[in-house]
């Protein structure tokens, strides 16, 4: 596998390379007054979160880069109990960092590109301009010699000053652990995010640099961006809010080689989706021929579609049952311009109304030559289960009677809602049928057991791997449950904490 190979054509093919970010010091500085703005709902005990996240990394290494497992095991056993040094092997700025080319930390990649002086200047000016800092701060940043330290400062916003004290120079990025949201691999192309809120805009910016100067170096034309048109600033405030473009990766799923799912949500706007549809259909290299758009309520509890459902196997899904079509009474079709499609019916989250539309790539049309091409909505799908059935049957050749939907909290109120809130529906597939979730979602876990899945904690699995009782290749129908009391407080699960770069084809 070449060290820079990037290609994803499904949500469940065996995972080979991904981008993550270990919880950094910025998370330990989140304060209640900033919850709303920084998209947190609670403070987090950083030390515990790190321990639980390290299990996640170790698990990823067992599956993706087993040679590095020895390294982290040795480092862990050398450290004294409770000695934080034992965890240094997980930190991208330490000399003992595990440094895998399959489990990549965005902070490490950032430090790599900061070795180049011209890139360093460009990134510092961009970040300082964006954060509105003065020239003094810019000079201070330029004077930091170690790229590893600088990468950390650019992410945490915390500088260790001359007196040895931590000072804020700009806001931290406590959501950078959710690498899912900053970019989406579509075949061998990358769609960059355009964050919905200022709290995450610096993340989008850093990802732009990381992908341009590292992941896609020499292949920059594989990067897709969506942003407002140049004359956007001329439009009225009202139009600006209607045409505002934002796209976050939790709303985009590369579900099958020719099929993309896009959520219209609190974070991804209708105008953003309009741009995605055109950008993707114009780019033949994506291989995408159909795009299904799922409109969910604009509500914090379901900020992206991956908080509502994720795929487990070709024929198995996990879904938040309150969004089941059994609860829906869809209105009759109307004629629409899809740009306004999702804004028509008000944004009353309490209605919890799901709408699904499918767009097909126009055939025999020279997309480039056709300005303002309108692609037709060809299908309207009645609800999420119908969509999931359609994908299993038509994209994966599953027999209709074999499709299974497992519900959050086993579909029982109030567990469905409680567990959806702590990411019961947000699972990451390491391979088909082997997924990572959270241990706190007990009723959902029970539902998985009832459907023939075996449940393991990371420790149990590490033990079984060590004793060679089983191996990542042998596992089938398994839900691995991470300790989650702290991780879940940041409001994202394993799906959010991963940006897949390479998966085997299904
Ligand atoms: N793909 C996801 N569901 N990401 C979850 C992001 C959670 C983060 N606290 C935010 O509000 O932005």
Substitution candidate for ligand 1 out of 40, 42, 171, 175 with most atoms within 8 A of CB: 175
CA 178/CA 466 separation, integer angstroms:
30
In a domain, 155, yes or no: yes
Q: Which are the contacts of 352, defined by CB distance < 8 A and separation ≥ 6?
A: 297, 322, 323, 327
Asked if 289 and 277 touch (Cβ cutoff 8 Å), the reply is: no
pLDDT (0 to 100) of residue 87: 83
Determine the distance separating the centroid of ligand 1 and the alpha carbon of 307, expressed in angstroms.
9
What ligand 1 atom has the least distance to the C-alpha of 39?
Answer: 11
Answering whether pTM is above 0.90, one says yes
Closest residue (by CA) to atom 12 of ligand 1? 39
Residue 292: half-sphere exposure toward Cβ, Cα within 13 Å = 25
Q: Centre a 10 Å sphere on the Cβ of residue 177 and count the other Cβ atoms it contains.
A: 23
Which tokens hold the place of 387?
């969509």
The helix/strand/coil state of 456 is strand
Dihedral of CA 32/409/296/247: which sign? positive
Determine the distance separating the centroid of ligand 1 and the alpha carbon of 384, expressed in angstroms.
21
pLDDT (0 to 100) of residue 377: 63
CA 365/CA 43 separation, integer angstroms:
52
Query: What is the distance, to the nearest Å, from the Cα of residue 224 to the centroid of all Cα atoms in its chain?
Result: 17
Determine the distance separating the centroid of ligand 1 and the alpha carbon of 182, expressed in angstroms.
10
pLDDT (0 to 100) of residue 80: 64
Q: What is the CA radius of gyration of the chain?
A: 22
Mind listing the pLDDT tens digit for each residue in 329-340?
333 333 332 323
In a domain, 34, yes or no: yes
CA 342/CA 353 separation, integer angstroms:
11
Which tokens hold the place of 415?
């567990």
In a domain, 268, yes or no: no
Q: Which residues of 84-115 are buried (b: 16+ CB within 10 A; e: fewer)?
A: eebbbbbbbbeebbbebebbbbbbbbbbbbbe
Element (H, E) at 290: strand 290-295
What ligand 1 atom has the least distance to the C-alpha of 303?
Answer: 3
> Which domain does 95 fall in, by range?
15-168
Substitution candidate for ligand 1 out of 496, 497, 499, 500 with most atoms within 8 A of CB: 496
What ligand 1 atom has the least distance to the C-alpha of 300?
Answer: 11
In a domain, 72, yes or no: yes
Determine the distance separating the centroid of ligand 1 and the alpha carbon of 178, expressed in angstroms.
6
The helix/strand/coil state of 289 is coil
Closest residue (by CA) to atom 10 of ligand 1? 39
Closest residue (by CA) to atom 1 of ligand 1? 250
In a domain, 132, yes or no: yes
Mind listing the pLDDT tens digit for each residue in 442-499?
999 999 999 999 999 999 999 999 999 999 999 999 999 999 999 999 999 999 999 9
What ligand 1 atom has the least distance to the C-alpha of 307?
Answer: 3
Q: In the beta sheet, which residues pair with residue 19?
A: 104, 499
Determine the distance separating the centroid of ligand 1 and the alpha carbon of 497, expressed in angstroms.
9
pLDDT (0 to 100) of residue 293: 96
pLDDT (0 to 100) of residue 2: 73
In a domain, 400, yes or no: no
- Please choose, from the candidates 436, 409, 446, the residue with its C-alpha nearest in 3D space to the C-alpha of residue 492: 436
Determine the distance separating the centroid of ligand 1 and the alpha carbon of 203, expressed in angstroms.
12
For the chain, residues with pLDDT lower than 50 are 328-344, 348-350, 371
What ligand 1 atom has the least distance to the C-alpha of 426?
Answer: 3
CA 395/CA 442 separation, integer angstroms:
31
CA 404/CA 314 separation, integer angstroms:
10
The residue assigned the tokens 């990394």 is 57
User: Residue 131 burial by CB count (10 A; 0-12/13-18/19+): exposed, middle or buried?
Assistant: middle
The tally of domains found in the chain comes to 1
Query: What is the distance, to the nearest Å, from the Cα of residue 85 to the centroid of all Cα atoms in its chain?
Result: 29
Determine the distance separating the centroid of ligand 1 and the alpha carbon of 436, expressed in angstroms.
17
- Please choose, from the candidates 503, 482, 502, the residue with its C-alpha nearest in 3D space to the C-alpha of residue 494: 482
Lining ligand 1 with CB less than 6 A are 39, 175, 178, 180-181, 250, 303-304, 306-307, 426, 490-492, 496
Q: Which residues of 405-438 are buried (b: 16+ CB within 10 A; e: fewer)?
A: bbbbbbbeeebbbbbbbbbbbbbbbbbbbbbbbb
pLDDT (0 to 100) of residue 151: 98
pLDDT (0 to 100) of residue 160: 86
Asked if 451 and 404 touch (Cβ cutoff 8 Å), the reply is: yes
CA 205/CA 322 separation, integer angstroms:
35
In a domain, 41, yes or no: yes
pLDDT (0 to 100) of residue 85: 67
In a domain, 492, yes or no: no
What ligand 1 atom has the least distance to the C-alpha of 250?
Answer: 1
SS3 letters for 373-389?
Answer: CCCCEEEEECCHHHHHH
Determine the distance separating the centroid of ligand 1 and the alpha carbon of 330, expressed in angstroms.
28
């Amino acid at each position: 596998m070449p060290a820079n190979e990037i290609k994803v054509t499904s949500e469940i093919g065996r995972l080979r390379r991904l981008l993550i970010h270990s919880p950094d010091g910025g998370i330990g500085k989140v304060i209640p007054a900033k919850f709303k703005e920084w998209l947190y709902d609670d403070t987090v005990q950083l030390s515990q979160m790190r321990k639980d996240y390290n299990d996640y990394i170790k698990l990823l290494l067992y599956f993706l880069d087993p040679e590095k497992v020895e390294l982290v095991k040795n480092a862990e056993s050398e450290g004294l109990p409770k000695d934080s040094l034992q965890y240094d092997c997980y930190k991208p700025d330490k000399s003992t960092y595990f440094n895998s080319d399959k489990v990549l930390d965005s902070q490490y990649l950032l430090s790599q590109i900061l070795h180049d002086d011209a890139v360093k200047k460009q990134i510092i000016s961009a970040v300082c301009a964006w954060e509105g800092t003065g020239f003094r701060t810019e000079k201070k940043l330029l004077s930091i010699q170690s790229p590893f330290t600088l990468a950390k400062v650019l992410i945490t916003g915390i500088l260790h000053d001359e007196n040895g004290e931590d000072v804020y120079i700009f806001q931290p990025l406590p959501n950078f652990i959710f690498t899912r949201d900053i970019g989406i691999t579509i075949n061998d192309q990358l769609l960059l995010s355009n964050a919905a809120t200022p709290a995450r805009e610096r993340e989008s910016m850093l990802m732009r640099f990381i992908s341009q100067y590292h992941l896609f170096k020499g292949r920059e034309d594989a990067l897709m961006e969506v942003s407002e048109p140049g004359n956007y600033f001329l439009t009225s405030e009202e139009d600006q809010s209607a045409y505002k473009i934002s796209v976050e990766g939790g709303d985009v799923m590369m579900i099958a080689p020719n099929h993309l799912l896009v959520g219209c949500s609190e974070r991804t706007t209708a105008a953003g989706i309009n741009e995605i549809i055109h950008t993707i259909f114009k780019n033949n290299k994506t291989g995408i021929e159909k795009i299904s758009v799922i409109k969910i309520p604009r509500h914090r509890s379901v900020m992206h579609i991956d908080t509502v459902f994720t795929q487990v196997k070709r024929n198995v899904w996990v879904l938040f049952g309150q969004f089941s079509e059994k609860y829906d009474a869809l209105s009759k079709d109307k004629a629409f311009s899809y740009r306004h499609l999702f804004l028509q019916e008000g944004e009353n989250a309490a209605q919890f109304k799901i709408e699904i539309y499918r767009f097909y790539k126009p055939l025999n049309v020279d997309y480039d030559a056709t300005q303002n091409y309108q692609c037709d909505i060809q299908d309207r799908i009645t609800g999420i289960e119908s969509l999931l059935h359609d994908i299993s049957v038509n994209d994966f050749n599953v027999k209709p009677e074999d499709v299974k939907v497992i519900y959050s909290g086993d579909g029982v109120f109030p567990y469905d809602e409680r567990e959806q809130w702590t990411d019961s529906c947000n699972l990451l597939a390491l391979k088909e049928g082997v997924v990572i979730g959270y241990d706190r979602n007990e009723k959902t876990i029970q539902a998985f057991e009832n459907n023939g899945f075996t449940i393991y904690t990371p420790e149990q699995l590490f033990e079984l791997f060590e004793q060679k009782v089983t191996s990542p290749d042998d596992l089938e129908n398994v839900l691995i449950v991470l300790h989650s009391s702290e991780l879940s407080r940041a409001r994202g699960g394993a799906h959010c904490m991963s940006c897949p770069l390479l998966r085997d084809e299904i």
